[in-house]
Chain A
Amino acid sequence: MITARYHREIPQRYRLEAGKCLACGHLSFPPRLVCPECKAKKFETVTLSDEGTLVTFTVVRVASDKFSKETPFPVGIVELNGGVRVTAQIADANIDELKIGQKLRIVFRRIQDDGKAGILCYGYKAIMA
């Protein structure tokens, strides 16, 4: 991954920074230039909750080449407290125990890498709360 492309997502991937619409309060993650709810264009930066609930999940058993050594790995949609939903891997979990409605917590983890000479890419994963 080109360093600039990785670098500009760091506030979201490392710190869960979202854009809160100053007009209607809607949270956009990642931040946007136009509020999808009320179309206003002014935001303040807020940090999302690191606690949430599992909305749905799967276990990826056939991955792209980049993730092929990681399989099988669970991925879910997590609704963070406050309402924002994110797609995240569920780490350190017993696959058979995963349940919709499960309480989860967001943690900082290594997500992927660019091979031997490339940068290591970090971000959020979810773990059982």
Chain B
Amino acid sequence: MRDVVVIGAGMTQFGELWNKSIKDIFVEAALKAIEDAGVDHIDSMYVGAMSPGLFVGQEHLGAVMADYLGVTPIPATHVESACASGGASFRQAFLEVASGASEIVLAGGVEKMTDGADVTEALATAADQEYEVYQGITFPGLYALIARAHMERYGTTREQLAAVAVKNHRNGAKNPNAQFRSEVTAEQVMKSTMVADPLRLLDCSPVSDGGAAVIVASMDVAKKLKKNPIRVIASAQSSDTIALHSRKDITTLNSVVKAAEKAYKIADKKPADIHLVEVHDCFTIAEIVTTEDLGFFEKGKGGEAAEKGWTSIECKRIPVNTSGGLKSKGHPVGATGVAQIIELYEQLNGTAGSRQVQGARVGMAQNMGGTGASCVIHILEAS
């Protein structure tokens, strides 16, 4: 496969965007990405979205967005892998350019969650509808099952969960596109409303609207445009059982372990070579588990790492979620995986402002769907 690079990025503010439709949101992000890349056309496009059918009653999102972006008749496809839809969208664009089928592809993601749908019910469709959701379990509930088991087995504490939220809000406060640009204290997290024991409101990513898009291109295109290209040095994806209860060990996300093994091998890197990582912290426990399963910390030590500040921008052992993560930046589901790539793009270009990890040259993005039934991992490197 040939070299593939990211040459442009654009996103909307994440938050409750009541005056903007799903079309407005996606097109705004896509136009920003196209302008940032400085390209005069795109060969094709992908739109990651988890459930526009349930959230706004609209499917066929590829064609909808190509139409409103004014780029018909190019190929335009909606990509869905639950909460990993954005990462899967980016991977499709990567594969299309890597294969030589296209030169310039837009990888986007969008979700419009505040138009009145039963969000809890819509998100639960990422789990097993007949054998999990039928019983009344919710997504916070499923991650709470993981959290309780992790606490029992490894001694992970309530304070360690809170430390993840505190750190991600501190980072998000520095991100102009974040939904919550305010810091929180551990006490506030631990006194917030209980959602599904032991997870509280401030352990959960919010309900968000937002869009994100990047322009993926061949190295030839990047050279012609005289862009400083950010290379995609690994793209890997794995799956696991749809139901959490079908797994032998519910404190490990095997899709994350497997996708990470593949990504490190493809990129010829190891965890110590990664300068920053965006992980899928849909709930605080998810950041603890994924930082372990990606190999940054020994199994069972993710909580301790968060509490000791090893994941902060300043510590540099491995800065995690410099963007604020899903927790603070917001989680418009389909946009999330693309927004993670945008954070890497900014960090590796040295344009992340007060969130900048000094000297960052290699970054990883880990995006997952459901309780880890899908996982997409990318590694990017500055040229």
Residues of chain A at the chain B interface (Cβ within 8 Å): 9, 12-13, 30, 36, 55-67, 70, 73, 75-77, 85-89, 100, 111-112, 121, 123, 125
Main SS at interface, chain A: strand
Complex CA–CA separation, A70 to B137 (angstroms): 12
Mark out the residues of chain B between 187 and 233 whose CB falls within 8 Å of any chain A CB in the assembled complex.
193-199
Cβ contacts under 8 Å, B250 to chain A? 55-56, 77
Of all chain B residues, the one with the shortest Cβ separation from A58 is B144
Known contacts A56-B148, A58-B196, A75-B145; 5 further A-B pairs (Cβ under 8 A): A9-B130, A55-B149, A67-B136, A73-B136, A77-B250
- Give the one of A55, A58, A73 with max B CB within 10 A: A58
| B135 & A100 in contact (Cβ 8 Å cutoff) | no
Cβ contacts under 8 Å, B124 to chain A? 64
| A70-B145 in contact given A63-B120, A87-B244 (Cβ < 8 Å) | no
Cβ contacts under 8 Å, B260 to chain A? none
| A77 & B136 in contact (Cβ 8 Å cutoff) | no
| B196 & A87 in contact (Cβ 8 Å cutoff) | no
| B136 & A70 in contact (Cβ 8 Å cutoff) | yes
Cβ contacts under 8 Å, A57 to chain B? 145, 148
Complex CA–CA separation, A88 to B137 (angstroms): 9
Cβ contacts under 8 Å, A61 to chain B? 193-197
| A59 & B121 in contact (Cβ 8 Å cutoff) | no
Residues of chain B at the chain A interface (Cβ within 8 Å): 118, 120-121, 124, 130-132, 134-138, 140-141, 144-146, 148-149, 152, 193-199, 241, 243-246, 250
| A87-B245 in contact given A55-B250, A60-B138, A77-B250 (Cβ < 8 Å) | yes
The residue from A73, A87, A125 contacting B243, defined by CB atoms under 8 A apart: A87
Complex CA–CA separation, A123 to B131 (angstroms): 10
The residue from B134, B137, B199, B246 contacting A85, defined by CB atoms under 8 A apart: B246
| A112-B137 in contact given A55-B149, A56-B148, A56-B152 (Cβ < 8 Å) | no
Complex CA–CA separation, A86 to B135 (angstroms): 10
| A58 & B197 in contact (Cβ 8 Å cutoff) | yes
| B136 & A111 in contact (Cβ 8 Å cutoff) | yes
Cβ contacts under 8 Å, B244 to chain A? 77, 87
Closest 6 CB pairs of A and B: A58-B144, A64-B121, A56-B149, A67-B136, A85-B245, A64-B120
- Give the one of A59, A62, A85, A100 with max B CB within 10 A: A62
Of all chain A residues, the one with the shortest Cβ separation from B120 is A64
| B196 & A62 in contact (Cβ 8 Å cutoff) | yes
| A30 & B130 in contact (Cβ 8 Å cutoff) | yes
The residue from B121, B135, B138, B243 contacting A88, defined by CB atoms under 8 A apart: B135
| B131 & A86 in contact (Cβ 8 Å cutoff) | yes
Smallest CB–CB gap between A63 and chain B, Å?
6
Cβ contacts under 8 Å, B136 to chain A? 60, 63-64, 66-67, 70, 73, 75, 89, 111-112
| B152 & A87 in contact (Cβ 8 Å cutoff) | no
Complex CA–CA separation, A62 to B192 (angstroms): 13
| A58-B135 in contact given A66-B121, A75-B141 (Cβ < 8 Å) | no
Complex CA–CA separation, A17 to B224 (angstroms): 63
Complex CA–CA separation, A30 to B196 (angstroms): 26
Complex CA–CA separation, A30 to B72 (angstroms): 45
Complex CA–CA separation, A75 to B195 (angstroms): 13
| A76 & B138 in contact (Cβ 8 Å cutoff) | no
- Give the one of A12, A56, A60 with max B CB within 10 A: A56
Complex CA–CA separation, A60 to B124 (angstroms): 13
| A60 & B145 in contact (Cβ 8 Å cutoff) | no
Complex CA–CA separation, A54 to B255 (angstroms): 24
